[in-house]
Structure 1
Amino acid sequence: MNKGRMFNKIFFPILILGIGLVISFGSYIYLSTTSSVIERVSNSKQSYITQIKNNLEQKIRTIEYAFNTYSTTSSFNEVVKNPITEKDFQAYRTVNTQLNYIATMGLEGTEYTLISLDKNWQISNGKLSTLTEDDLNNLYINYIDDHDKGLFWIKTDQGIRFVNTLPVFSKRKIAIALSDISLQTLNRAIDTDEHNPVFILNGQGKLMYENDSSEQLFPNQLEGISQVLSTFNDSGIVTVDTINNKSVQLIFAKSSYNNWIYCTVLEQQEISDSLKTTKFGLITMGLVLILLIVVVAYVISIIFTKPIRRIQQSLPKNTHFSSKNEFESIMDSIDTILIEKESLESLIKAEMPQLETQFILNLFRNRVSPEELSRKMPRFGYQEVWDPMYVTMLIQLDNLGGREASDKDVLLLAINKIVEEFIPEQQRLLPIILNDDTQATILRFTEFSEQEIRRKVLDDAAALIKNVNDYLNLSISIGISKTYENLLESKEAYEMSKQALHQRLNLGKESIIFYEDISMVVSGPVLLYYPVELESRLFDAIRLGDEEQVSSTLHPLLADMMKKNNHSANFEVTLVRFVNNLIQLEQLLGVEVLLTQDNHALYHRLLDIRNPEEIERMLLEEVILPMVRKMKEKTNKQFRCLSEKIAAIVRSEYDQELSLELIGDRLHYNPSYLSSIFKKEFGTTFSEYLMNYRLEVAKKWLIETDMTIKEIAERLEYHNSQNFIRSFRKKEHVTPGAYRKMNLAD
């Protein structure tokens, strides 16, 4: 599994370093162990060769001592000065006994010989023999002539020979004592379980004994060894070359008794055999340590690259990571993040007013925790002050200044800007538009008393009302909360200011209302008043569709509600009752205005408006006038139909007794109602219409018939002819007779 370049950069150096340390440590231990083993083997060899030296030297000294002692006895002089033949058994036995005694003190298997130079006999290994002249000459040549010492050792083909010319301290030698130690005897005396090669050199460097010819040395090497070792102490180690051109180390021990040098070889094979266990242990330990280092290197690499992997996982999923260099990829990603961070910071800086606005909104909605408050206040540039006091100020429009309702948002923004410019930053938080009707500002004061704060707020509020009126031609009202010490209480302060603004229904427009001033009124008893008579007049005007009457009736109705209900809650209750009655009237009249989807929030809208003029405008323009217009549309058809029925009755029954009471009974309508709709439809009253129609009929009869004026008057339901003549003359400006004459003459 590909772990990445950083993993490899950590893993392999640790692995190589660890393996290097293991090899170095193992090499150090191996060299130290080798040195220790060599020292141990050398010490063992040294002890071994010293033991051989001591054992052999002891035997040699015993032999020499025995012969020297024997040579000083009187029996020795008698024996060697007398001839011994086969017949001299007693003398032979004496000599042989002495030789056997000496043999018991020396090395087992050593042959002892006593030679009499004067009497030419020798006893060797229990055998008596006679010497010839040549034998004697050879003895003198080999053992006496050219020998300064009377006691010495020589090497023979069978071993080494101890030569003691007797008497020891006499220049005239009369006997020779020989002790022949065979190679087998020397091998037995020297051989141990170690089977090490042993070399014995005499004082002149001549090889006296060797038990292993595999490590052969040159004669000149032997002399060189003797010369070199002469400068050393009694024991030590020296390196020499063999005839096989191999370098060997010799461990030696010098005899202080006869200057013999005992040597043995420190063989590499022996050292290697001793180091086999050590090598195996070191190799095993090295492999275990290397395996452990691999595990440790892997774990360390995983641990050290874990932050990198976490960073990679934290970066966007679409980030491309180069397998060659994770750091460069991460740095590229970090650079990208930093660029994005700078862009985001710029965006946040640009959006800081919006964020601050949301923060103030959350204060009014009680959605800010103490921790968030302490963290965000410095972020928005509000310095911490000692014992601050806060006041919430709400501003609402009293009217739109003749503008459209859609302009309200723009007007509130303009008011918010005026507040922002008029009140210094040190004395406020950011002014905001709280909702569709309200602008809110949290004022901040330090080192001000309650009276000073009230005076300052009152002055600022009055100046704001004047500025808004001057610049925007608007009237506004301002509600002001009690002072409070903790910004987390801003929601309660908002409710106070809102409740204060409710009272402008009673105080009128451009009011500055402190919650403290109206708190007693708010908590007072609730007494409801409802103007039933004024409502009835308004509803009659609605039924008739009379817009002028409606407009003139609504204002006194609302004014009476506000005047008689001092408590804002009372007015809200009466206002809700009035709207409910409007809905019931609407249902009775069969029109749909308040029940449509566009006016489902009418209650909330009316209760949120604290401006009497705005309430009257909304009720008139959005509720009542639409009802009147709907009624007009609906009743126009009814009026026309009823009017046509009345006119038809007049045209068909003009010569009978007619009145609105009679027609009302027939049509099941109130005569007054019929009179009003007839006049509205025909532009004249019923009686005038009836009189005019009858006069038209009279004019026709005067021209087309011979009926007298009295008959016409009676036919048209005039009680006497004089009333008919007056009515005719009033309309036509002539009498009926004159009218007939004028038309007949034509």
Structure 2
Amino acid sequence: MNSNVEQVLRTVNHAFDQLVNSTVVARALNETFSPDDFLLYRNLRKEISNTQSYFTKVEDIVIVNIEQNWMIKNSGYYKFNTYLHHTQIANQMLLPNTISWSLNPSIWFYSEEKANAYECPYVISLVKKLPDQKLDKFGLAFANLPTCSIGSILNYTPAESETVIIMDDQERILFHTDPSMIGKYAISTGFISDSHVFSQPVGQFETELGGKKYTATYLRSSLNNWIYLSIISIDSLTQDSKKIGRYLFFFCLIIIAVFLVIAWLGSRQMYNPIQSLLKQIGGSPPSSVKPGMNEFEIISNQVQNLFQSKSQLEQEASRHLQQSSTFFLMNMFQKDIRRNELTEKMELFGFSEKLAQWQVMSVIALQIDTLEGTRYSKDDLELLLFAINNIVEEIIPSEVRLPPVSIEHTQITLIGGVNSEAQPEYNGFIYSTTESIQSAIKRVLDLQVSIGISLPFHDIKKASAAYHEGLEALKHRIYLGEHVIIPYANINAGKQKLLAEYPSLAETELFDAILIADEEKSRELLKAFMQLIFKQEMNPQEYQVSIFRFLNSLMVSMQQSGISLNQLHSGGGSLYEELNALQITHEIEEWFWSRVITPLIRIFRDRQNSQYHNISEKIMDMIHKYYDTDLTIEKCATEMHYNANYLSGVFRKETSVTFSEYLSSYRLNMAKKWLMETDITIKEISEKLQYINSQNFIRSFRKQEGVTPGQFRESHRK
């Protein structure tokens, strides 16, 4: 249940991230948006409808711009302050996190178009504060999933006496076998009297309701801290187990009785042939058998002595022949062997008869996607490839393949077909075979593998080229992902791909976050940067250009900051060689984070502890001197020769307030001082403090102090 729900939640979150970070949403938030902007409204509705799908069960996408006073959802465009429940929706800005899962009443979003006849009284809202990439938030976005749809997402039918509950991190019920309980707290169910029973990530406990005992099993999600709970009566469990136990006992008694009769009858029929066989191979009669030995042991000894030499010779010859065959196949795939030698070896190892029948051939190259997150380690790789070889041999009939071999962590198999004219049938056979191999490896070894398929060829001498085609096809996992089957014929088939523009702006933002040692923001920006790199389908070589450019930029930034390579990378080996060996997108991202960016953040954090205080004091000194000018963080950055984003982050980290908040507070204190000690008019004060007009100054002063400037001056003079 947890996996089914979280798969949908992750899908919703991913699609929602793409929506709120799209250019259309950014334009709608940052520009003046009115009901007359039909083109922008149409594009925005199109982006919203693309985010909704039957699989995710998202019923509505709601976008609110509090600053510009508008709201958009499925039913249209609204003035936000005229919407019935705008206060409750606006209060979602008070949520502690930028992104949150929240249980909200359906009436907040659908009161006007459904006339209070809701299918579900509650919705589960994915709430994001907008803009996503800015500190100052003035908008909200909601992705609403009806609580009624959770049952279909669970894809689970409870037992007759079982109660299934899903609760959020506040222990409010999001799903219950009884729909009337949705929205209530866990204590209302009667099963839970103390929330401390959920203190562990997973566990079981016993409870009682109406004099009946129940056992409860729960799991706390690591994604959003939701609790998945199953409660079932102990009586129903024990009743089924007792019935099964009785049936099993009588069934075992019957089996034992049948086997005893069969064994007795069989032993009588077996002894006479055994005695006859013992005489034929020259064994001693039963009267002269040594104590402790039986007829089977005597027969076994005689047979072993008779065939020992022959068996040893055959095993040795078979072992050497198999090793030689494997070595020859590895050379055939890796090198261009002369035709005469190729023909001789095929005849020697018994492959020539198959080749004579085959009119078309293909090479499939199989690689394990990753061992990360599995029960295996890198030390198990050779043993896993041996197991995969056995699986391939079982799935592919021996008459249509050569023996599989392993070359540099890649499993290679050559497959042949009889009829070269039936090309679609042959291609279908190759593809269905590779799908069967993938499924068997997943089922038996619990591993995900990818398979590259070469172009069909008719001459065995082209096996080496086909082998490299299979490897080249596997390189395209860098954008296709894991657990894929990649025919070489489909790579860039008829499509002209343009080299995507390098995301220099995203790279600069990431470097700024690394420079101020903001670990959380750096992780988010690295993920966003990688998404920009891999969002457009390109050749693997083109991806490598961008990836290595990024690594070069990191190295240059490191050298400019006076950081030696030994501080970042201890031990032998090359970072470029490590990066070149990676083929999966999430592995490349994780490598950059763990091998390069995390060590850089640690170094910059150590440096900044001694620099932040000095920088913050300089900024405060500039505010105290130039508060009566049009002072901004950008002007301070220019004066101090720093990046503005860097200065903003440092000042906030040291003072716990933003630059604009500190400047506004200081100006307010100066205004209060002038009101108490001087006769300067309110208009002159507002001009000195850079307000557009005196009315803005009066409103701001009253918001902070609760009284107007004139009332403040009069009260202090009295």
**TM-score, L = length of structure 1:** 0.41
Instruction: With a CA cutoff of 8 Å and minimum separation of 6, indicate the structure with the bigger relative contact order.
Output: 1
